[in-house]
């Protein structure tokens, strides 16, 4: 008599048929894409406004340096006084007035330039204006010192150091970013998965206790089998939901972008990146990204992702199940959640701060062996290249701990599911292990 498939099937079907589960499965992607579309729409709205800026340049040094862009239009004033220009700027739809006084001394000039506006101007606009002024003043100063502009251009050399590992593999800043992206995404995904579906397992254990069906069930099935069936069944339901989410989000994203004509990259990309795309750098960028992706140990990543994801999830799932068995209702779970959440949060912080700083440092290494943190930390480290033997040791430790944890959880589970009424203390739970 093999009960495991039967239990997995029931757990899976109950979860998948549950109304709130179905609603969440289809609503979440819609909400997600909806928020995304809203943000994209709002930021495009913001970018559409054109700012008109008047420039009163009494020094006559900068008039030619300001060129219109899609969001800023410059208008050079001449023959008016500052007072008149201010008055005019105030009465018309002009965003601000840049005043450059006449002066002999470039150094004092730099302190006398003023920007007038109704509200405080946006940081990026001021940055742009300051850049332009600074560049011109620098050029003028150099000219004063007897260096002509051609020499200056020749002198200006762009440095971007090539990065290469000792084994001859080329690395780059872009590559590091991508690796972080991969690792971060994997770690974050696991973290979310554990919290959402771990809780689901816990609730399903509590439900069996509160409905008092548990004793009927375990007179037919070993508690360990029931525990495993619950974990696997819920995991399958979780994977189903995740897949539906990914597919729906992709479809909806495609729909939204084509309907509203929003360029998804424009939301996060900064002004500089846009400039880069405008001057035809897009293809080059994509090429670089593709090359970097090719450089990543893809096969290793995928295999390890699956192993660590499954191992890490199962480890935490069995902990959640034993918490469910120890208590009577969900409100009592608080005190037992800490030991589960602490290592999980620790893993994410170690992942974010330490791995980014030094992916192969001692702290990162240690935490990528500890089974409670290794799934997140190791997944973040692997894109940066971790020796295979280290990965294997970590996976072995993880799965060995999982087996130990199931044994431990099954003990708590076996006793806990038949205990009603009072909330156990840690001391009592420890005693249960000896029953």
Partner 1 sequence: MEKLLEVNNVSKTYGDYKALNDVSIEVEKGSIFGLLGPNGAGKTTLIRIINQITMPDTGSVILDGEPLQPHHIQYIGYLPEERGLYKTMKVGEQALYLAQLKGLSKQEAKERLKYWFNRLQIGDWWDKKIQELSKGMAQKIQFVVTVLHNPKLLIFDEPFSGFDPINANLIKDEILKLREDGATIIFSTHRMESVEEMCDHIALIHKSNKILDGRLIDIKRQYRSNIFEIGLKTTNHEVTSVLLKEKFEVFPATFKSINDELQYKVKIPDSVSPNDLVNYLTSQGQLTHFVEVIPSASDIFIETVQKN
Question: What is the distance between the alpha carbons of residues 207 and 213, in angstroms, rounded to a whole number?
Answer: 9
Interaction of residue 217 with partner 1, rule CB under 8 A: yes
Let me know: does 234 contact 205? Beta carbons within 8 Å: no
Q: Please list every residue from 95 through 124 that binds partner 1, using CB under 8 A.
A: none
Judged by CB under 8 A, the stretch of 94-102, 174-182, 220-228, 311-319 that binds partner 1 is 220-228
Question: What is the distance between the alpha carbons of residues 379 and 145, in angstroms, rounded to a whole number?
Answer: 56
Question: What is the distance between the alpha carbons of residues 38 and 204, in angstroms, rounded to a whole number?
Answer: 36
Nearer Cβ to partner 1 (61/326): 326
Cβ burial of 241 (10 Å; 0-12, 13-18, 19+) is buried
Q: Where does 241-284 show beta strands of DSSP type E?
A: none
Interaction of residue 23 with partner 1, rule CB under 8 A: no
SS (H, E, C) 292-318: HHHHCCHHHHHHHHHHHHHHHHHHHHH
Both tokens of residue 200?
């689901």
Nearer Cβ to partner 1 (65/207): 207
Nearer Cβ to partner 1 (16/273): 16
Nearer Cβ to partner 1 (8/350): 8
Nearer Cβ to partner 1 (306/433): 433
CB of 21 to partner 1, least distance (A): 12
Task: Tell me the site size for partner 1, rule CB under 8 A.
Answer: 25
* One residue of 35, 50, 185, 216 binding partner 1 per CB under 8 A: 216
Interaction of residue 418 with partner 1, rule CB under 8 A: yes
Interaction of residue 1 with partner 1, rule CB under 8 A: yes
CB of 221 to partner 1, least distance (A): 6
CB of 408 to partner 1, least distance (A): 18
Residue 158 — φ and ψ, nearest 5°?
Answer: -85, 130
Contacts of 82 (CB under 8 A, 6+ apart): 56, 99
CB of 9 to partner 1, least distance (A): 9
CB of 359 to partner 1, least distance (A): 47
CB of 415 to partner 1, least distance (A): 9
Cβ burial of 249 (10 Å; 0-12, 13-18, 19+) is middle
Interaction of residue 215 with partner 1, rule CB under 8 A: yes
Place of tokens 């525990």: 227
Both tokens of residue 66?
């300001």
Give strand pairing partners of 86.
none
Question: What is the distance between the alpha carbons of residues 92 and 77, in angstroms, rounded to a whole number?
Answer: 14
Nearer Cβ to partner 1 (18/171): 18
Cα distance between the two ends of the chain: 27
* One residue of 156, 167, 212, 422 binding partner 1 per CB under 8 A: 212
Interaction of residue 160 with partner 1, rule CB under 8 A: no
Judged by CB under 8 A, the stretch of 101-109, 206-214, 253-261, 391-399 that binds partner 1 is 206-214
Judged by CB under 8 A, the stretch of 185-193, 215-223, 272-280, 384-392 that binds partner 1 is 215-223
Judged by CB under 8 A, the stretch of 6-14, 113-121, 308-316, 373-381 that binds partner 1 is 6-14
Q: Which of 408, 407, 432 is closest to 418 using CA atoms?
A: 432
Judged by CB under 8 A, the stretch of 7-15, 127-135, 175-183, 314-322 that binds partner 1 is 7-15
Interaction of residue 222 with partner 1, rule CB under 8 A: yes
CB of 220 to partner 1, least distance (A): 4
Nearer Cβ to partner 1 (220/282): 220
* Cβ atoms within 10 Å of 253's Cβ, excluding its own: 17
Could you tell me if residue 361 is left (phi over 0), alpha (psi between -120 and 50 degrees) or otherwise beta? beta
Give strand pairing partners of 210.
none
Interacting residues toward partner 1 by CB under 8 A: 1, 3, 6-7, 10, 14, 18, 207-208, 211-213, 215-222, 418, 420, 431, 434-435
């Amino acid at each position: 008599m093999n009960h495991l498939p039967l239990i997995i099937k029931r757990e899976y079907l109950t979860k998948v048929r549950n109304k709130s589960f179905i609603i969440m499965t289809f609503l979440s992607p819609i909400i997600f894409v909806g928020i995304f579309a809203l943000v994209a729409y709002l930021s495009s709205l913001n970018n559409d406004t054109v700012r008109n800026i008047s420039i009163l340049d009494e020094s006559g040094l900068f008039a030619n340096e300001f060129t219109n862009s899609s969001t800023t239009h410059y208008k050079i004033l001449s023959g008016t006084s500052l007072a008149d220009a201010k008055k005019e700027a105030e009465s018309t739809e002009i965003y601000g007035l840049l005043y450059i006084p006449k002066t002999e001394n470039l150094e004092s000039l730099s302190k006398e330039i003023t920007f007038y506006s109704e509200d405080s101007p946006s940081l990026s606009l001021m940055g742009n204006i300051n850049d332009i002024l600074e560049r011109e003043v620098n050029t003028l100063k150099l000219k004063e010192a007897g260096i002509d502009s051609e020499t200056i251009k020749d002198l200006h050399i762009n440095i971007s150091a090539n990065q290469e590992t000792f084994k001859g593999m080329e690395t780059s800043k872009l590559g590091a970013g991508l690796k972080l992206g991969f690792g971060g995404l994997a770690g974050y995904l696991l973290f979310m998965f554990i919290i959402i579906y771990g809780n689901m397992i816990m609730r399903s254990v509590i439900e069996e206790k509160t409905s008092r069906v548990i004793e009927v069930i375990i007179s037919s099935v070993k508690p360990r089998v029931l525990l495993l069936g619950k974990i696997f069944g819920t995991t399958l339901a979780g994977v189903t939901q995740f897949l539906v989410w990914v597919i729906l989000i992709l479809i909806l994203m495609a729909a939204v972008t084509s309907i509203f004509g929003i360029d998804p990259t424009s939301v996060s990309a900064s002004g500089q990146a846009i400039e880069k795309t405008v001057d035809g750098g897009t293809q080059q960028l994509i090429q670089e990204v593709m090359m970097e992706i090719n450089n990543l140990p893809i096969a290793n990543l995928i295999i390890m992702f699956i192993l660590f994801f499954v191992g890490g999830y199962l480890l935490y799932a069995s902990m959640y199940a034993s918490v469910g068995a120890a208590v009577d209702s969900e409100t009592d779970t608080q005190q037992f959640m800490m030991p589960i959440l602490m290592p999980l949060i620790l893993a994410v912080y170690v992942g974010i701060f330490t791995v980014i700083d030094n992916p192969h440092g001692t702290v990162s290494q240690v935490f990528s062996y500890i089974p409670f943190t290794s799934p997140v930390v190791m997944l973040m480290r692997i894109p940066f290249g971790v020796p295979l033997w280290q990965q294997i040791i970590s996976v072995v430790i993880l799965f060995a701990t999982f087996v130990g944890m199931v044994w431990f959880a099954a003990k708590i589970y076996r006793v806990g599911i038949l205990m009603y009424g009072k909330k156990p203390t840690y001391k009592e739970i420890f005693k249960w292990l000896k029953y």
